[in-house]
Amino acid sequence: MLRTIAYRLTGIPLIILGLLTITFILTRGIASDPIYGILSIRELMNEDYVALVREKYGLDEPLIVQYFNYLWNTVQGDLGTSFRTRQPILSDLLAKTPATLELIIFSLTIAGVLGVTLGCLAARFEGSVLDVTIRAVSLVGSSVPVFWLAIILLYLGSVVLDWFPGPGRISQRIAPLEDGTGFFLIDALVQGRWDAFQSALRQIMLPSIVLAWSILGTITRLVRASMLDAMESDFITLARAKGVGSWAITLRHALRASLLSTITILAHVFGYLLTGAVLVEAIFAWPGLGDYAIESARALDYPAILGVTLVSGVTFILVNLIADILYTVADPRIRQ
Amino acid sequence: MTDPLLSIRNLTVGFNRNDRDIRAIDDVSLDIGSGQCVGIIGESGSGKSVTALASLGLLPKQAWFRGDILFDGSSILGASESQMRSIRGRQIGFVFQDPMTTLHPLHRVGDQIAEAIRVHNRGISKAAMRERVISLLEDVAVPEPHRRIRAFPHELSGGLRQRICIAIAIANRPKLLIADEPTTALDVTVQRHLMETLEDLIGRYDMSLMLISHDIAIVHDIATDVHIFLKGNVVESGPVDRVISAPEMPYTQRLIAAVPSLDPDQKRLEGKAQSATSDTIESRAASVEPLKRRSQEGWPASAPLLSLHRVSKHYGNLPRGQEDNLDHPSFAVRDVSFDVHPGECHAIVGESGCGKSTLLKCIAGVLPVSDGAIRYKGDIVGADRRSLPPHFREQVQMVFQDPYSSLHPRMRVFDLIAEPLRNLGYGQEEINSRVLEAMNYAHVDPEARDKWPFQFSGGQRQRIGIARALVTRPEFLILDEPVSALDVSVQASILNQLNDIRRLLDLTYVFISHDLGVVNYVAERVSVMKDGRIVETGDRRDILTNPQHPFTQQLLEAAPGKSFYEHLRAGRGQGSQEQSMAD
Amino acid sequence: MTMLDLKTDELDQPPSAVAPNRIWASLRSSPLALTAIAIIAVWTFIGLTIDLWAPYDPLAPAGDRLQPPNAQHWFGTDTLGRDIFTRTMYGVRYSLPLALIVMFFTVLIGSVIGMLAGYYGGWIDYILMRLTDITAAFPPLILAMCVVAVLGPGIVNSAIALVAVWWPITARLLRAEVLSVKERDHVMAARVNSASDRRIMLRHIQPLCWAPVLVNATVDIGIVIIAIAGLSFIGLGSTPPTPEWGQMIYEGAGRYFNWWIATGPGLAIVTLALAFNFLGDAFQKALDPRRGEG
């Protein structure tokens, strides 16, 4: 088992090197001269000053040297400076990440529990009205643009029904939390701030329902398909021949077999959630990576966008790695 | 007379698929008494498995049925799901065909056996359960049961997995055991021991057995009564000895006559309705004129047409220093040498995984050898894909095992057969006449030229495959288990046809098979292969009557149906006596 | 079903081997597929003829600002007083053709890469698949965002960016199919009969591989329509005042209490994406009768 995991780990640096190469090509190879991003038009008029700045940023070196400088800087955590905020990108990103992760994990939990349950039910009662309904709803679910759903639900949930608060991560009316992990729900609990916890919980509900809905259909359909595959296997017939009851067959035999692919499915939709977060955070005034990405994109602050891309790429790789490891632990055929 | 244990009464089962109604079985009746061993014999599609699943009430949802099945006097098909659950596993045990897929891959085998017990005995203690599981493993002769109880299925061989399946089936000492082709997926040597275990358990625990098989020989060894299934009907029933030695129905007679035996003086087999056509192969061939008799021109009969000298093949890279270590597991073929002379049929016999398929790809020139040399007419083959002897691709052709995957499903019959000529750059006129010629030799109806492969049965598809091989007018055919995927009656007619073609066209064969009976029927020379090595090569008769190597002896010993063949010979002798008396 | 010896030959062949007329027959008998085709046909018709019957100018104010839906303005008016219904109808001219073009190039590039990797194996496979892994290591829309940011915003650049990030799905699907079809004996037979690599790939392997690619590409057209809108929503796709759906939804994002601004274009996206989802589902069912909608 350890060897399998070690093997997976060795692939990671290679992929990250690939990521960096792609981002480097995007910035230096295709984009216009980065100097235009660094200096204002007035400053660009002064040629001596331009040359000085070029030297300072290493932009006078041959591309290959720039490439290794870029790799070296990135590995050290230097992702450059944002044109927009004039802050080091890494510190910007670190400040924004907890908000996004909190949202994503919350959504993934909701969607995972619901999706696996619905997928199992649909497979268990294949062909019934329940199955058809679940499948239809899941198809509709993946056809709705998440950023539109966010607007509509925000209107319905906070204006029409008044069940949820408006945009924001925590109510402005309560005293702010002290600095902590950046995960408001956790910080509130640690600091014993029950009012803050309630407020943060109420605030996170609507955006995470939106995100959960956006992946629920995919999870349901994939779980249903893998359950049906499992239910067609010979070992299910054997279980029936043993006299095992049908719910026990669904749970102990079919679900057990398809849990493996469920792990992969959940890792796969994590990528959708990252994308979804980028699209909906702005609508919910959620100060996370997505919001940051959109603000940077609109300002054409591409060092910052590259930073977001790199961080989401690395996060996605790590999630897939965790899924791989879980898979290895769960499957005795690979575990050996 | 006491009531039978299981009684199938006028059972009809049908399936509704794509608005067509397919009858799987039609008005079948049969009884199994207490302690009785009943065999059900039929070819694929005869409805024998449906009968077995129906007896457990496990028909798929789409199935409809008429008639009834009584078990111990009460109806099975009319029983509720919860009544059925108390019968399945407790009163009736079931052994499925493929042990590779029937066990749950993620549960330990001990737990899977324990589940079968627990379903019918709630509240059994952990220690008591462990004891029962271990004693079950001992019953089915699994070695080291204390260790194996914690194994996962993938850690066990096919034979051991099937033993686990049997342990599950007998876990609650059912009155009836249904075994559906329990040994078909296994090698002969494993098959034999498994059947012995099964027979022993039946006797010890006084169970009845319904044994379903396509193999008359296996059924004969163990059953007392047989029912012969044909297309969903029972065509003949009776005590096994009577049915084998004096079959009454023409289908049964044909079925028995089609089985190739280990008798070195084997006569021509009776193929499926082939007597009319196969005898006319010469006349058919004559009708396609002007046919040049293709002999190995310019190649003396005394020199080997194909010779293998110390051929080895491994996959992947070998660790440093292990390049010459033939015992390294990445070797599939190890130091193989043999000669094939013009006009002869050289068989290679071995069990699954012995390396015969790899060897064959090397001979066909699609896989380079790692070491040694393969020579065709003295020229090296298979050093790499591009350097082949002149005209090798025309002169050497191949027939494949699986008649389904060996034909491109989206090409019409004519194009399938013409494909080799197209690649070789022949003109359209030449292609037309050659394809027609090949279709004639291979008994493919010329009317079929515009049909799709899925419109044909397995045997017909195999004939299309043979036609494709003959279309280049080859001298040498490589046959990779050409009949192992076919029903026995079809098998016989294809074998006859291959023999005829070889005689008529002076071809040379390399014939790969796992079945000694088949080999006995077609080959002059036999090589026995095990773990990548040829352990013995010799004339067919010597190998069969006087095997030298222990593995060959084991293979011969394990071949099913010893008593069947003796019976058969006695029966045939009797039959011919009667015949002569009638004359 | 494997237990029963009922397997008919038709079920034995790979899904891709299903004849086109049979696929069509299956689509015709599925109400969902017919609905899907009808929706796509209606949108295509709207896109082709909108100039002839548009009630208002899509770019000019047509009345008071921020009117909720009413008899004159079915979908209401936006912050500049433009008619949202007219703008929504014009929007299909951007989304649909662009999504089809993106999918065409995606499938083309992905298929070539998947086929070469699967067929040749070895180091070619290694290099191509690592490239695929690296591209697929980013969440697609985020990488696309990055590419557009670098290329410069615009609707053509956003299409290029989507192709650049979408191909790995096709490549992986096709490679997996090639790996399984490659093992069939008929490919071995073609090799024994000295067919060239090109011929084996195009004639013997490719026709048996496209089923999952087709199903996936159909569904993905819907997803690409959403992605194009997403890029515009972010501000990287079309530029104002283009009546593009994502752009229009963005205009409504900050004013969620004026819910109708985003509703028209949102519903337009949902209908089209849903149609392609249904169609993909119907293809799945037609190609593999044991799967898909029961």
CATH number at residue A101: 1.10.3720.10
In the numeric block, which tokens belong to residue A102?
A: 């909190």
Q: C191 CB near a chain B CB, below 8 Å?
A: yes
Residue C227 pLDDT class (50, 70, 90 cuts): very high
Check if the beta carbon of residue B310 is closer than 8 Å to that of residue B359.
Answer: no
Count up the domains in chain A and report the number: 2
| B468–C189 C-beta distance less than 8 A | yes
The reply to whether residue B49 touches residue C4, judged by beta carbons under 8 angstroms, is yes
- Whether residue B81 and residue A246 make contact (CB cut-off 8 A), yes or no, is yes
* Predicted confidence band of residue B477 (pLDDT cuts 50, 70, 90): very high
Q: How far is A103 from chain B (nearest CA, A)?
A: 34
B-chain residue closest to C187, CA distance: B406
Q: What's the pLDDT band for A218 if we cut at 50, 70, 90?
A: very high
B364 touches chain C (CB under 8 A): yes
When pLDDT is averaged across residues C246-261 and rounded to a whole number, the result is: 88
Residue A187 lies in a domain: yes
Same domain (yes/no): A53, A101: no
Encoded amino acid at C284, one letter = Q
Same domain, A133 and A65: no
Average pLDDT over chain B, rounded to an integer = 85
- pLDDT at position A331: 84
Same domain flag for A191 and A240:
yes
Residue B488's pLDDT band (cuts 50, 70, 90): confident
Helix ranges restricted to H, A25-167: 35-38, 41-44, 47-57, 63-75, 89-124, 129-141, 146-154
Tell which residue, B145, B143, B136, B142, has the closest CA to residue B174.
B136
8 Å CB contact between C138 and C198: no
Q: How far apart are CA C91 and CA C72, in angstroms?
A: 20
Question: What pLDDT score does B289 carry?
Answer: 41
Low-confidence winner among A247-251, B379-383, C33-37 (lowest mean pLDDT): B379-383
Mutate to test the interface with A, among B84, B104, B156, B168 (most CBs of A within 10 A): B104
Quick one: pLDDT at residue A56?
A: 76
Of A215 and A15, which is predicted with more confidence? A215
The string of DSSP codes covering A230-278 is HHTSHHHHHHHHHT--HHHIIIIIIIHHHHHHHHHHHHHHHHHHHHHHH
Q: Is residue A82 part of a domain?
A: no
Q: How far apart are CA C268 and CA C243, in angstroms?
A: 12
User: Structural domain of residue A18, as residue ranges?
Assistant: 2-75
Q: Is A245 on the interface with B (CB under 8 A)?
A: yes
Q: Omega of the bond prior to B290 within 30 degrees of 0, cis?
A: yes
Give the number of other Cβ atoms within 10 Å of residue B329's Cβ.
9
Task: Write the CB contacts of A22 (distance below 8 Å, at least 6 apart in sequence).
Answer: C134, C135
Average pLDDT over residues A247-269: 89
Cα distance between residue B58 and residue B77, in whole Å: 9
Last residue of a domain, one of A46, A75, A104: A75
How close B484 comes to chain A (CA, Å)?
A: 23
Chain B residue with the nearest C-alpha to that of A248: B119
Tell me what pLDDT residue B522 has: 92
Same domain, A94 and A62: no
CB atoms C3 and B180 under 8 Å: yes
Q: Residue B337: how many CA atoms within 13 Å on its side-chain side?
A: 4
Percent of chain C with pLDDT over 70: 92
Which of C1, C10, C207 lies nearest to residue B454, judging by beta carbons? Answer: C10
Q: Which of A44, A75, A106 is the last residue of a domain?
A: A75
d(CA B341, CA C233): 76
Best to test chain B binding among A126, A235, A242 (most B CBs inside 10 Å)? A242
Residue of A nearest to C134 (CA): A15
pLDDT at B19: 65
The number of C-alpha atoms within 13 Å of C95 and in the hemisphere containing its C-beta is 37
* DSSP-assigned beta bridge partners for residue B339: B307
CA distances from B151 to A233, A255, B290 (A): 21, 21, 65
Q: Which helix (DSSP H) or strand (DSSP E) does residue C53 occupy? A: helix C31-53
On whether any CB of chain B is under 8 Å from the CB of A244, the answer is yes
Q: Which residue of C has its CA nearest to B395?
A: C193
Q: Per the structure block, which two tokens stand in for A174?
A: 């309560």
Residue A334 has pLDDT above 50, yes or no: yes
Tell me the H-state helices in B90-212: 99-102, 109-120, 126-139, 145-148, 158-169, 188-205
B103 in A contact zone (CB under 8 Å): yes
> Is the predicted pLDDT of residue B495 greater than 80, yes or no?
yes
Contact B104 A244 (CB under 8 A): no
* Euclidean distance between CA atoms A302 and C151, whole angstroms: 10
| Parallel, antiparallel or unpaired: strands B176-180 and B63-71 | unpaired
State yes or no: pLDDT of B568 exceeds 70.
Answer: no
What the block records as the tokens of B50 is 């449906």
Q: Is beta strand B208-213 parallel, antiparallel or unpaired with respect to B37-41?
A: parallel
Is it the case that residue B16 has pLDDT exceeding 80? Answer: no
Compute the distance between CA of residue B140 and CA of residue B125 in angstroms, rounded to an integer. 23
pLDDT in tens, B335-348: 999 999 998 999 99
- pLDDT (mean) for B399-411: 90
B2 vs B263, higher pLDDT? B263
- What is the structure's pLDDT at B386? 67
DSSP string covering A273-335: HHHHHHHHTTTTT--SHHHHHHHHHHTT-HHHHHHHHHHHHHHHHHHHHHHHHHHHHH-HHHH
- Considering only residues 203 to 242 of chain C, which have any Cβ-Cβ distance to chain B shorter than 8 Å? 204, 207-208
Report the alpha-carbon distance of residue B37 to residue B293 in Å, rounded. 54
Q: What percent of chain A has pLDDT over 90?
A: 32
Same domain, A296 and A246: yes
Q: How far apart are CA C55 and CA C75, in angstroms?
A: 12
Question: Is pLDDT of A112 > 60?
Answer: yes
Same domain, A110 and A71: no
A164–chain C nearest CA distance, Å: 14
Is the minimum CB–CB distance between B94 and chain A shorter than 8 Å? yes
Give the three-class secondary structure for A56.
helix
Contact (Cβ atoms closer than 8 angstroms) between residue A187 and residue A178: yes
Residue identified by tokens 């060996």 is B406
| Nearest CA among B256, B202, B200 for reference residue B226 | B256
Give the confidence band of C248 by pLDDT, cuts at 50, 70, 90.
very high
Number of CB atoms found within 10 A of residue A173's CB: 7
Whether B96 and chain C come into contact, CB under 8 Å, resolves to yes
B259-300 confidence digits (pLDDT tens)? 877 777 777 776 654 434 444 444 444 444 433 444 445 677
Strand partners, B209: B37, B177
What per-residue confidence (pLDDT) applies to B416?
Answer: 93
Contact call for residues B67 and B75 (beta carbons, < 8 A): no
d(CA C41, CA C39): 5
Q: Say how many CB pairs under 8 Å bridge A and B.
A: 75
Distance CA A237, CA A235 (A): 5
Quick check: A143 and C145 CB within 8 A? no
Who has greater pLDDT, B527 or A1? B527
Q: What is the pLDDT of residue A30?
A: 58
- Domain spans, chain C: 96-287
Indicate yes or no: CB of C142 within 8 angstroms of CB of A309: yes
Which residues are B228's β-sheet partners?
Answer: B41, B236
**Whether CATH 1.10.3720.10 fits C96-287:** yes
Cα angle value C262/C268/C269 (rounded, 5°): 90
Name which residue leads in pLDDT, B453 or B297: B453
pLDDT, position B274: 43
Of A197-211, B91-105, B197-211, B563-577, give the lowest mean pLDDT range.
B563-577
Pairing of strands B225-230, B37-41: parallel
Confidence label for B172 from pLDDT (cuts 50, 70 and 90): very high
Contact C249 A145 (CB under 8 A): yes
Please tell me whether residue B256 adopts helix, strand or coil conformation.
helix
User: Does the beta-carbon distance from A245 to B85 stay under 8 Å?
Assistant: yes
CB atoms within 10 A of CB B18: 10
Q: Measured between alpha carbons, how far is B135 from B170 in angstroms, rounded to an integer?
A: 12
> Which residues of chain C have a CB within 8 Å of the CB of A143?
222, 226, 269-270, 273-274, 277
User: Within 10 A of C86 (CB to CB), how many other CB atoms are there?
Assistant: 24
Q: In what order do the strands lie in the sheet containing B331-340?
A: B331-340, B306-314, B371-376, B379-381
Report how far apart, in Å, the C-alpha atoms of A140 and of each of A104, B125, B268, B287 are: 22, 50, 66, 66
- Residue A28 above 90 pLDDT? no
Q: Sheet harboring B6-17: ordered strands across?
A: B20-32, B6-17, B63-71, B74-75
The side-by-side arrangement of strands in the sheet containing B396-399 is: B396-399, B476-480, B508-513, B345-349, B525-530, B533-539
Are the beta carbons of C14 and C206 closer than 8 angstroms? no
Identify the closest residue of chain C to B61 by CA–CA distance. C1
Question: How much of chain B, in percent, has pLDDT values that exceed 90?
Answer: 44
Average pLDDT score over chain C: 87
Establish if A81 belongs to a structural domain: no
DSSP result, C205-272? IGGGTHHHHHHHHHHHHHHHHHHHHHHHHHTSSS-TT---HHHHHHHHHTTTTSTHHHHHHHHHHHHH
Q: Write down the residue that tokens 């029904």 correspond to.
A: A161
**Positive or negative, the Cα torsion across B441, B444, B446, B451?**
negative
Residue of A nearest to B92 (CA): A241
ipTM: 0.88
